Amino acid sequence: MKFLLPLILLLTITTSYAMETNSTSFSLPGSAWQVATFAGQSPLTEHPITFEFDTEGNIAGDASCNRFGGSCQIEGDKIQVGRLRSTRRACEPDVMEQEYKFLALLGAAATWSLDGDKLVLTTPDGEIRAERQSGPAD
């Protein structure tokens, strides 16, 4: 019984620290990202994928060939990307395929978290991992 109180106290402190370092303590609005991998593959070197979250509930970026944008709701660790629209430029087939796969994956994002300095967007079909860039709030 003497050891129960210190154990409970230790668990409480550890749980509090874990909650403070969890993704819910970081705010996505105002942040910018460059995709490192999506569904286990790296973007084409000459055609990076970038995106940013504004403070008004939107997401926008460069999907390789075209610019894209749409609404984005973030609540806790949940994320819901609304219907995405994009410009209509045509690029090489491999670039267009990359763009299509990325936008489909982004549109299905369900949760977000941080893994070190990487943003992880989780979907039923895989993850998008992105590195923080200087953005609108920086």
Instruction: For residue range 112-132, list pLDDT tens digits in order.
Output: 999 888 999 999 999 999 999
Task: Give the closest residue to 91 by CA, choosing from 81, 79, 99, 82.
Answer: 99
Q: What is the separation, in whole angstroms, between the first and last Cα of the chain?
A: 51
pLDDT of 3 higher than 60? no
Counting DSSP H helices and E strands in the chain, the numbers are 2, 9
**Which pTM was predicted?**
0.79
CATH number of the domain residue 119 falls in: 2.40.128.270
Given a contact cutoff of 8 angstroms between Cβ atoms, the answer to whether 70 and 59 are in contact is yes
Establish if 106 belongs to a structural domain: yes
Domain that holds residue 42: 27-133
105, amino acid identity: L
The pLDDT tens digits of the residues spanning 67-103 come to 999 999 999 999 999 999 999 999 999 999 999 999 9
For 41-66, how does the pLDDT look when each residue is reduced to its tens digit (9 = 90+)? 999 999 999 999 999 999 999 999 99
Neighbours of 106 (CB within 10 A): 24
Query: Confidence band (pLDDT; 50, 70, 90) for 23?
Result: very low
Q: How far apart are CA 47 and CA 57, in angstroms?
A: 26
Quick check: is 16 in a domain? no
Is the residue at 7 inside a domain? no
How many structural domains comprise the chain?
1
More confident residue, 15 or 52: 52
Q: Is residue 64 part of a domain?
A: yes
Decide if 78 contacts 109 (C-beta within 8 A).
Answer: no
Q: State yes or no: pLDDT of 18 exceeds 50.
A: no
Nearest to 129, CA basis, from 107, 121, 102: 121
Average pLDDT, the chain: 84
Residue 78 lies in a domain: yes
Confidence of residue 27 (pLDDT cuts 50, 70, 90): confident
Q: Residue 25: its pLDDT value, please?
A: 58
1, part of any domain: no
